[in-house]
């Protein structure tokens, strides 16, 4: 199923921009995790994460970083003076030891394919299969939906709207479409562990498509993707 132009302009809400700087954000504590703002001190741990092939195969590049400078470039996207004001990404750490085991959060406020703010996450391979991703995601959603809101007009994939309310949204007096705010994610169709985590956290799959694969070594091929979204009403809590 190829991607098609199915974007519509809607009235909704979004978190107020810019976001609070990392220095003013409070960490999140769950049963096993400490979810906190990223800092420059996380560079080495981020580099270690990004040198694991099993992790990087599901990224846009598809290959590990060749040096720590590439990890720094990625980390800069989430640090002051601009990155933290434009994204809401976090370090996911073990509460018992403080070890950074993953990254997760909203890494762009307008997904090119879906329109809504886009969430993603990565975990070191040695911590897969232990429920950490689900625990992180449920806790992160509590924080995300608690952020201050403002009215907004955005272009989003119409199929996400239909999935949210079953009717395609409500028409107001000006002919605009008023819809519930959503948080979206794109997941590789060949990564069932990830899309099962999304579903456990209350996300619903609303779109499936193919696009040219951008990963190194996959030139000339297509990648199959799933689009997921959830509303504040659909979230599930795991915060302690």
Given this model, what pLDDT does residue 163 score?
A: 63
Which among 113, 124, 118 has a CA at the least distance from the CA of 144? 118
CA 53, 55, 61 angle in degrees (round to 5)?
Answer: 75
Q: What is the pLDDT of residue 240?
A: 29
- Say whether 30 sits in a helix, a strand or coil: coil
Model confidence, pTM: 0.90
Task: Return d(Cα 75, Cα 73) in angstroms, integer.
Answer: 6
3-state helix, strand, coil in the chain (%, to 5): 30, 30, 40
Residue 42 CA, distance from chain mean position: 19
- pLDDT band at residue 233 under the 50/70/90 scheme: confident
Give residue-wise pLDDT tens across range 126-156.
Answer: 999 999 999 999 999 999 999 999 999 999 9
Q: How high is the pLDDT of residue 77?
A: 96
Coil, helix or strand for 61?
A: coil
133-146 as b/e, with b when 16 or more CB fall inside 10 Å? bbbbbbbbbbbbbe
Residue whose structure tokens are 């979204």: 229
Q: Which CATH superfamily is domain 7-234 in?
A: Gcn5-related N-acetyltransferase (GNAT) (3.40.630.30)
pLDDT in tens, 28-69: 999 999 999 999 999 999 999 999 999 999 998 899 999 999
3-state secondary structure of 108: strand
**Residue 100 pLDDT exceeds 80:** yes
Q: Helix (H, G, I), strand (E, B), or coil: what is residue 161? A: helix
Q: Are strands 33-37 and 28-29 parallel, antiparallel or unpaired?
A: antiparallel
User: CA-based angle 136:140:141, to the nearest 5?
Assistant: 120
Q: pLDDT by residue (tens digit) across 162-217?
A: 766 554 444 443 446 899 999 999 999 999 999 999 999 999 999 999 999 899 88
Over the chain, what is the mean pLDDT? 90
Q: Output phi, psi for 108, to 5 deg.
A: -155, 145
pLDDT at 234 over 80: no
Please determine, for residue 107, whether its predicted confidence score (pLDDT) is greater than 70. yes
Q: Which residues contact 51 (CB under 8 A, 6 or more apart)?
A: 64, 65
Using CA atoms, how far apart are residues 143 and 230, in angstroms rounded to an integer?
14
């Amino acid at each position: 199923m190829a991607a098609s132009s199915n974007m519509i302009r809607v009235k909704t809400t979004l978190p107020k921009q810019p976001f609070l700087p990392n220095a003013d954000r409070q960490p999140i504590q769950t049963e096993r995790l400490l979810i906190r703002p990223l800092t420059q001190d996380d560079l080495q741990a981020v580099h270690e994460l990004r040198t694991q092939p099993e992790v990087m195969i599901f990224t846009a590049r598809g290959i590990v970083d060749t040096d720590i400078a590439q990890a720094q470039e990625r980390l800069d996207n989430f640090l002051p003076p601009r990155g933290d004001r434009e994204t809401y990404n976090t370090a996911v750490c073990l509460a018992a030891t403080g070890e950074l085991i993953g990254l997760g959060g909203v890494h762009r406020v307008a997904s090119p394919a879906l329109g809504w703010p886009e969430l993603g996450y990565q975990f070191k391979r040695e911590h897969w299969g232990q429920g950490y991703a689900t625990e992180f995601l449920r806790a992160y959603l509590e924080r995300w939906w608690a952020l201050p809101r403002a009215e907004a007009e955005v272009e989003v994939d119409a199929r996400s709207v239909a999935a949210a309310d079953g009717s395609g949204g409500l028409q107001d007096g000006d002919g605009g479409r008023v819809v519930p705010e959503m948080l979206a994610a794109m997941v590789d169709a060949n990564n069932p562990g990830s899309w099962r985590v999304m579903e456990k956290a209350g996300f619903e799959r609303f779109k499936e498509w193919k696009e040219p694969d951008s990963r190194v070594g996959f030139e000339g091929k297509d990648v199959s993707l799933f689009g997921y979204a959830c509303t504040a009403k659909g979230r599930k809590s795991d915060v302690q």
